[in-house]
């Protein structure tokens, strides 16, 4: 390898997924600056890959424990949209195949929008089944936000085909006869729940972006219905629209005015 030019070494490395110990040793022994830069990049990429693999193993602890008991179809469930003043609560249920290495999946709150959008395609390509459940602002006003969140989760599970054998739910018990495990901060502890959180977040964001096109003066595409300064000013100036949650105090107070 020492007789190869740096360009030739780069081409060689681009074609190899892994290197033998002797190949690593030869590269590290090559004192050319360009070669050492290549080695540094490769080592950083390898370290990042190992961190992602460790994170994947950590996120599979609940799934592996259930599969060790012979349970195959495990659905992770999460919802998004409890805090906004407008728009629906959206839940997602995802069944992932055993040991499919979905590296990069994490709690949707820790990912940028670009990262989430990239992961959505990977999850959809990998998942055995995905279900989406929606509770409308009318549902929320009728039964309260907590019960509406459960309603959306139940609707998401009912969309799954094949049906799951066990549910992993983010910090909630839902009224279904399927065996389930409630996990506090589950979107940071279970890969199935994390995948569901990503799909739920991107699905709801898309719905709010479309609502923003329908009501351009409210800026829903910027705040997704959360009570930001921009949203509150629009509420003060324009009043609520049909998609606002009338049972939420900031909206209710403006209806009285």
Distances (CA, A) of 198 to 45, 98, 181, 189: 25, 19, 20, 14
pLDDT at 47 over 80: no
Q: Percent of the chain at pLDDT above 70?
A: 97
pLDDT at 33 over 60: yes
Q: What is the mean pLDDT of residues 103-121?
A: 81
Q: What is the band of 44 on the pLDDT scale with cuts at 50, 70, 90?
A: confident
Per-residue confidence (pLDDT) for residue 112, from 0 to 100 = 83
Per-residue confidence (pLDDT) for residue 55, from 0 to 100 = 82
Q: What is the mean pLDDT of residues 93-119?
A: 82
Per-residue confidence (pLDDT) for residue 2, from 0 to 100 = 67
27 vs 238, which has greater pLDDT? Answer: 238
Q: What is the band of 45 on the pLDDT scale with cuts at 50, 70, 90?
A: confident
What would you report as the CA-atom Rg of the chain, rounded to the nearest whole angstrom? 24
Per-residue confidence (pLDDT) for residue 133, from 0 to 100 = 98
Domain annotation for the chain: domains and CATH numbers: 6-59 (no CATH), 61-200 (3.30.420.10), 210-256 (no CATH)
Q: What is the band of 145 on the pLDDT scale with cuts at 50, 70, 90?
A: very high
pLDDT at 256 over 60: yes
Per-residue confidence (pLDDT) for residue 159, from 0 to 100 = 97
Q: What is the mean pLDDT of residues 111-130?
A: 90
Per-residue confidence (pLDDT) for residue 198, from 0 to 100 = 94
pLDDT at 125 over 70: yes
Per-residue confidence (pLDDT) for residue 1, from 0 to 100 = 67
Per-residue confidence (pLDDT) for residue 107, from 0 to 100 = 62
pLDDT at 59 over 60: yes
The DSSP result for the chain, as a single string, is -TTS-HHHHHHHHHT-S---HHHHHHHHH---HHHHHHHHHHHHHHHHHHHHHHHHHHHTHHHHHHHHTT---EEEEEEE-SS-SBS-EEEEEEEPPTT---TT---GGGS-HHHHHHHHHHHHHH-SEEEEEEE-HHHHHHH-HHHHHHHHHHHHHHT-SSPPSEEEEES---S-SSEEEEETTGGGT-HHHHHHHHHHHHHHHHHHHHHHHHSTTS-HHHHTT---HHHHHHHHHH---TTB-TTSHHHHHHHH-
Per-residue confidence (pLDDT) for residue 207, from 0 to 100 = 98
150 vs 257, which has greater pLDDT? Answer: 150
């Amino acid at each position: 390898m020492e007789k190869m030019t740096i360009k030739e070494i780069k081409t060689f490395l681009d074609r190899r997924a892994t290197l033998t110990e002797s190949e690593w040793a030869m590269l590290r022994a090559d004192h050319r600056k360009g070669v050492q830069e290549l080695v540094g990049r490769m080592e950083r990429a390898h370290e990042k890959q190992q961190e992602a693999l460790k994170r994947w193993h950590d996120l599979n602890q609940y799934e592996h424990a259930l599969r060790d008991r012979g349970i195959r179809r495990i659905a992770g469930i999460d919802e998004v949209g409890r805090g906004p003043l407008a728009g629906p609560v959206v839940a997602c249920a995802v069944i992932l195949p055993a040991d499919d290495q979905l590296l990069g999946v994490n709690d949707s709150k820790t990912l940028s929008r670009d990262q989430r959008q990239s992961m959505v395609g990977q999850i959809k390509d990998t998942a055995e089944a995905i279900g989406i459940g929606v509770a409308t602002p009318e549902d929320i006003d009728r039964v309260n936000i907590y019960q509406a969140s459960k309603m959306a989760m139940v609707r998401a599970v009912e969309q799954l085909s094949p049906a799951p054998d066990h549910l992993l739910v983010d910090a909630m018990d839902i009224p279904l006869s399927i065996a389930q495990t409630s996990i506090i901060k589950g979107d940071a502890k279970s890969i199935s729940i994390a995948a569901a959180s990503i799909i739920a977040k991107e699905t709801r964001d898309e719905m709010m972006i479309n609502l923003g096109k329908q009501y351009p003066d409210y800026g829903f595409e910027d705040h997704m219905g959360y009570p930001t300064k921009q949203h509150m000013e629009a509420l003060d100036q324009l009043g609520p629209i049909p998609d606002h949650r009338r049972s939420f105090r900031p909206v209710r107070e403006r209806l009285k005015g």
